[in-house]
Structure 1
Amino acid sequence: MESGSGNRQRNASISDIAPGSPELQRERGNMMSNTATSGTRDGTGRHGASMALPSHTKRPSEHKARIAFNYMPATSQYSPIEPTSTPEPTRRSEMDIFNDLLLQLEQLSGHEPQDLVRIYENAALLPPITHESLAELDIARIINNPKLRHDVNFDRELHFRPNTDGPRGKQKQRSAEEYWTALAAELKLYLHIGKEILTCNNAADAEYWERMMLASQKRMPGIFETIKEVLKTLVPEKDQTRVMEKLDVPMIMQEIGKGVFDLMDLATWLAKLLKDHCAPMRDEWIDQMVTKTQQGVQEGSQQRIVGGLKELLGILEAMKLVRSEIPPESDHMLISSSQDVANHQIRHLRGLLIEDTVNFQQRYHLHRMTYGRLNISRSLRWFEQETVLLQHKCTSPDQIFTTALLRLLLGDRPVNRFYETFQLDAERLKSLRTDLHNHIHLLICGDVFAASLVPNQTSPQLLAQAQHQLRATLTDIVGESRRFEASLGNIAVEIVRLALQLSGEQDCYNADMVEHAERQLRVDLSVGSMAFRNHANRLVETLGPQLCDSVRQNLKLSVMALHETMMPPVATPLFGLVGAGPVPVKEDQGPLDDVCRRITHLAVLHWHIWSPLVYCAELQQQQDALACDEADPAKRSATNSPVQSENVAHTHTAISVAGVQS
């Protein structure tokens, strides 16, 4: 041991000395007479030296387990840490107290696999579900959410679910897991520190451990505050006073600090309140929450208590979702559903949102364009280039746009490079592009299959049947991922097997034919290959005119009528256009019927929104000026003035901005 001026730093842990040795007795004597430090940290963030703890008399046996956060349970899975010294006479700083907490937790964690010290120190202070995150479901945010206002046109039955997809969703899940682990660690500290408070025999010890208790309360106040704030948005005003009284967070934390908080009483009260205000289908979930909490209290299990709190927040989120029913943009996402969303009031709101789609979207996008938040130069340049390329085939701007959109979907441009005007349709375009490419891949596989047959030995009827059978088999082989390149070997084997069978061969496998088929598939299935481009060009020639006619006829419909036509109440089969109204796609396209319907719906709505803003902006301005001149010829000279034109543009922008902000 080295001595300093008023301090004594231990170079070895007490556990390194034999329990009954004189060295240990001297060590304890030294610690009782000198100030101890809170330890140091090594490079991994762990504490290297043991912490000096306050002394106390033998724990009295009369303290019995009373309620949820009693700190003297009759049987506990954690044995108390033996005291080693009294706190120093000088008052310890807040940083020292926090370091003491981390060392306590390190000793309590024992041999658990997770690094509780690191997680407790770094995890989020608020639960994954908060009042602010659920506020995204409030009606005011919903009706001003541009993505929602657009997406609601493309599905008849929608509701929320937590968005756990993609990298952001996975990060949220990891953060949530760390939060719940840190909360369980906090409950461990409550139990240990509470025992020390009950057994203190002097004011200095009591003050030290009470400061430790306050410092350990990092996350429990936040979760109770969240429960209170969310409940206030879910229960009627007459019940909000009860919620405020029962969930008095400062009082709850005082009771936890004193070891007299009855968690079961709160859980039972919450269960009754929730059952009074949510659907009966949630009753079983609520009972599970109460059961987990009860088991945690009875068994002294922090994990089960945390599980009960986790269930409670899940129930509150579900209640909020059902009350909102139309999804926002960030932390929750759309899914189709046939339950919980058939509310008449929400149906009515949904109809209003659809009818106002074009008006809202135009004002929103014009506002962003005016303030430089949206640059449409790439979209305009794309349309101008397509106009030059297609003007000899298409007779109107909407036909040019429809054909250009089909060419864009069939091309090899990366999905994340779609133009700015398509930003709200990115996922739909990605899905359409995948379906069209999948169709071309099947056609290429059919070509390789036909090339594997002996010429003039198979009748057209048998060949057609074999092609149909091959498509079905290949769909099963590639599965939902539809990644043909990842299944080339299996595809080649199936092509050769079917070709040999159709040719009357007894063998069902030929290594040379399989190798040749796989090599050909590897070349042709590439998006930039000659075979792929040939099939894509044929689709533009055959499917393009049909799509143009479909879009032209549906442009006459209102947005609500378009939605009813393209999203019929009855379930639409995988292939085949049901209830498409005035613009059915020709039946000979078969598997592409559904794709045509979806492209038509997207193209018509997109043209309604963007043609006056981008694609036909100059023509629209000329028509407006001509109409103005015809109505009042005296204004002709004023309209042609650059200053007057600027004022007119500014007035329209101001109206649009005001509309968005309102």
Structure 2
Amino acid sequence: MNAQTPASTRAADAFLPLPTSGVDGTQACKAANGSTWDGAIVSAEGVTRDGSRRVACHHQYTRPRSLSLIERDISEELVDVLMDYLQEDSEFKDKARREELADAFRHAAEFPPITKQSLSELDIQNIISNIKLRHDVNFDRDLSFRPNTEGPKGQQKNLQSQSYWLALQAELHLYTRLFRGTPTLRHVEPSVYFQHAQKRVPKLFATIHEVLKSLVPDRDHDRVDEHLDVRMLMQEIERGVCDMVALVEWTAHLLKEHCAPMRDGFVDGMVSRMRKGAANQDMATIVDSLRSLLGMLETMKLDVANHQIRNLKTLLIEDTVNYESHYHLDRIVNQRAKVNVDAAQKWWAGVVRDLQLHHTSATRDIARAKLESFSHAVTSSLSSRNSQQELPDTFYLDSDRLRALRLEIEDLTHFEICFTMFNQLRKDLGHYGTVLNDSKSRLRSSLAAILGENVGHGSQTWMNNSESLSLEIYRQAHAIAGRPPTFNHCVLHNTNECLRTLFYSTFSSHAVTLEAVLLPQVLTCVSKHYNGSPTELYNSLVATPLPNSTPSFIPLPPTVDTFSFCNNTPQERLTDLSKRISHIVLLHWRIWANIAYVQNDAAPTNAQLSTPPPPQSSTRPHPVATSSGHTAPLTPTAPICPSVSEHEVQAVDMMKTVDPPDPGSGYESGVSEETRLP
């Protein structure tokens, strides 16, 4: 395709200009300037669209009319044209389908669901400056980006995406009507209607152009400019000579040059759909191919981002304490913090006051004693329903992990309550022997199966399923006692009421018992890894994912693993919980101790920005604090991350010498709101 316009043509220039001459040229120019006449615009004698006769006359002035009204009239007339055209198509005999496309044409977004701006949150600079990602990377071995289709936001994104692609299909149908058999139109000459009809296709081409250039090397940019000249493409579409098959084939060839071989099958499918759609003039199939093309560009961007995370992971983990300390201090000093330091100090003062009898500072390492008190407070807050023991908002980056831990502890507590009832029933039935581990596992698996996916949703889930749970406990108690169960309404009702009463009345006591077992394990783990670097903590305390597990979506909140709940013994669960709690405790204490807890001043000062971080592993590169309070460029040594490219290291250095931006919608919602993978 020979480009006849400059390669630097912008997306905004992709629209055809308003006419300045012709039968209705004056009217069109006035419409473009925001004013026109509110009167009949007529020419030679003819027949109007409704069949009535019309007579030549002059423009008659009545009152000025805004551009928005003209645009609204034209848009509604285009919808009428679309509905009339679709009615002639046997595929759209159903009026509801025609109205669905018309409604999408009216209201859907004009830009595609995937744009260069939305994908920019996967750029290396934004990855490195994303404070939540920098923190989360310490806790997940498979942390990676993937589109979010979960939850209300994901569902809303999918609905908006579907509406956009329907609107694009409607627009292509409208092009067929306007460019290949223009109907009788009102107001202005056809080119103005053409311009208003081109609401999404030019922007789609411009988006593909921009995203593709951001993914391929500079040497291929001229090729992209030549083949994806938006203005030229729209002129070809208007004249009915645009070869979409050739365009998609060229794009597919370029994609195969730069994407992983595993994507080739998907690229070939995209081309096949475009050929089929073009041969049959099937707009839905053509749109499906364009949707696949945009999805493929998103996939390539995700592949690049995930590759960069893997390469930089060790470096990011090792620099966690230094980076986050300066990040939070800078915001506190500049009054842009998300945390209330005064509230955190009050919370810590209460911890010291409540736990001072447990430690004798004269005979112990004061630093270790403070860390033990901190560990005790965190563990207690996870086991308690007392709002006074809630953690301060300095834990905001760990909120999802803490919530998941609290729910798991609640589940373990409720299971212990169920097992208490099981023991009570079997003894009432005359069984006083030891309960074998197999029987415990069988009961645990049965209860977890009853809860199903509701495991990890809190105490209310256990209450809602109390009838089924009590029935299973009753059945297994009779089975271990060697007695056939007697099922009648009275017995089942009493069993259910007994279990619900135990849930209400004994939860706190069981939680205290569980905490008494869990806390020593946490303290032992914290003491064992007291001097470990962030990388050593990661290697020792982060569980290895199960084979064939799906990489974690950023930032998918941690949830309770039903398989683990069913198959792991209580001791294995407690060991896992203690490791995860210890990991949070150690990192949080190193980052926040001198900022919000044990310092004497009410608020940090600029001088504190140069406070060195706690001792770390000798393999860790030590950044030097500058006079501005930020760290000087961090030069990684070979053993840390040998596969990091020079470009990526420079990006890390750059982000460490500037004020890192607040995490935007990308990691917390933007990336999570990426559209569905193809």
Q: TM-score, normalised by structure 2?
A: 0.71
Name the counterpart of 1:30.
52
Taking only aligned residues, the RMSD between alpha carbons, in angstroms, comes to 3.7
**Equivalenced residues, count:** 531
Distance in 2, Cα, partners of 1:291 & 1:261: 18
Q: Larger deviation: 289-298 or 369-378? A: 369-378
Q: Alpha carbons of 1:115 and 1:319: their partners in 2 closer, same or farther (altered >3 Å)?
A: same
8 Å CA contact retained: 1:575, 1:593: no
Distance in 1, Cα, partners of 2:212 & 2:241: 24
Name the counterpart of 1:142.
127
Name the counterpart of 2:169.
184
1:386 aligns with 2:351: yes
8 Å CA contact retained: 1:575, 1:592: no
Offset at 1:180? 0.8
Distance in 1, Cα, partners of 2:266 & 2:329: 46
Q: Larger deviation: 486-495 or 496-505? A: 496-505
8 Å CA contact retained: 1:402, 1:548: yes
8 Å CA contact retained: 1:358, 1:608: yes
Name the counterpart of 2:314.
351
Letter in 2 for 1:383: W
Letter in 1 for 2:418: C
Offset at 1:160? 1.1
Pairing of 1:517-528 with structure 2 (within 5 A): 517-525=495-503
SS at match of 1:154: coil
1:208 aligns with 2:189: yes
Pairing of 1:129-528 with structure 2 (within 5 A): 129-197=114-182, 208-325=189-306, 341=307, 346-372=309-335, 373-374=337-338, 375-394=340-359, 396-412=369-385, 419-455=392-428, 457-462=430-435, 465-482=438-455, 483-507=461-485, 509-525=487-503
Distance in 1, Cα, partners of 2:521 & 2:137: 26
Q: Alpha carbons of 1:28 and 1:316: their partners in 2 closer, same or farther (altered >3 Å)?
A: closer
8 Å CA contact retained: 2:452, 2:562: no
Offset at 1:368? 2.0
Name the counterpart of 1:553.
528
Q: Larger deviation: 375-384 or 562-571? A: 562-571
Distance in 2, Cα, partners of 1:539 & 1:167: 35
Offset at 1:517? 2.1
Letter in 1 for 2:77: D
Distance in 2, Cα, partners of 1:321 & 1:28: 54
Q: Alpha carbons of 1:440 and 1:504: their partners in 2 closer, same or farther (altered >3 Å)?
A: same
Q: What CA deviation, in whole Å up to 9, does each residue of 1:467-503 have, x standing for no partner?
A: 3321121111111212322321111111111122223
Distance in 1, Cα, partners of 2:51 & 2:162: 43
8 Å CA contact retained: 1:448, 1:517: no
SS at match of 2:465: helix
Q: What CA deviation, in whole Å up to 9, does each residue of 1:400-422 have, x standing for no partner?
A: 11111111111226899753111
Offset at 1:287? 0.9
Name the counterpart of 2:589.
607
Name the counterpart of 2:659.
661
Q: Alpha carbons of 1:187 and 1:541: their partners in 2 closer, same or farther (altered >3 Å)?
A: same
1:112 aligns with 2:89: no
Name the counterpart of 1:79.
none
8 Å CA contact retained: 1:123, 1:182: yes
Q: Alpha carbons of 1:470 and 1:619: their partners in 2 closer, same or farther (altered >3 Å)?
A: farther
Q: Larger deviation: 399-408 or 650-659? A: 650-659
8 Å CA contact retained: 2:168, 2:200: yes
Q: What CA deviation, in whole Å up to 9, does each residue of 1:487-531 have, x standing for no partner?
A: 211111111111222232233535433212211222333xxx331
Letter in 2 for 1:391: Q
Distance in 1, Cα, partners of 2:388 & 2:189: 60
Distance in 2, Cα, partners of 1:481 & 1:410: 20
Letter in 2 for 1:123: A
Distance in 2, Cα, partners of 1:551 & 1:575: 27
8 Å CA contact retained: 1:188, 1:302: yes
Offset at 1:653? 5.6
Offset at 1:252? 0.5
Distance in 2, Cα, partners of 1:414 & 1:27: 71
Q: Alpha carbons of 1:417 and 1:128: their partners in 2 closer, same or farther (altered >3 Å)?
A: farther
Asked which structure has the greater RCO (Cα within 8 Å, sep 6+), the reply is 2
Distance in 1, Cα, partners of 2:391 & 2:54: 72
Q: What CA deviation, in whole Å up to 9, does each residue of 1:530-577 have, x standing for no partner?
A: 311001111222221221121122121111111111236685998999
Q: Alpha carbons of 1:284 and 1:487: their partners in 2 closer, same or farther (altered >3 Å)?
A: same
8 Å CA contact retained: 2:113, 2:161: yes
SS at match of 2:138: helix
Distance in 2, Cα, partners of 1:560 & 1:462: 42
Offset at 1:29? 5.2
Distance in 2, Cα, partners of 1:504 & 1:595: 36
Q: Identity of paired residues, percent?
A: 35
SS at match of 1:457: coil
Q: What CA deviation, in whole Å up to 9, does each residue of 1:184-225 have, x standing for no partner?
A: 11111101111224x99xxx9997222211110001111111
Distance in 1, Cα, partners of 2:275 & 2:370: 68
Q: Larger deviation: 556-565 or 375-384? A: 375-384
Distance in 1, Cα, partners of 2:525 & 2:506: 28
Offset at 1:166? 2.2
Letter in 2 for 1:364: Y
Distance in 2, Cα, partners of 1:575 & 1:206: 64
8 Å CA contact retained: 2:115, 2:207: yes
Q: Alpha carbons of 1:322 and 1:173: their partners in 2 closer, same or farther (altered >3 Å)?
A: same
Which consecutive unaligned segments of at least 5 residues does structure 2 have?
Answer: 1-37, 42-46, 58-68, 88-94, 361-368, 456-460, 550-560, 611-625, 633-654, 661-678
Q: What CA deviation, in whole Å up to 9, does each residue of 1:348-407 have, x standing for no partner?
A: 411111111111111111122223332233333222222222221245111111111111
Distance in 1, Cα, partners of 2:153 & 2:545: 35
Letter in 1 for 2:327: Y
Q: Alpha carbons of 1:451 and 1:268: their partners in 2 closer, same or farther (altered >3 Å)?
A: same
Distance in 1, Cα, partners of 2:322 & 2:525: 23
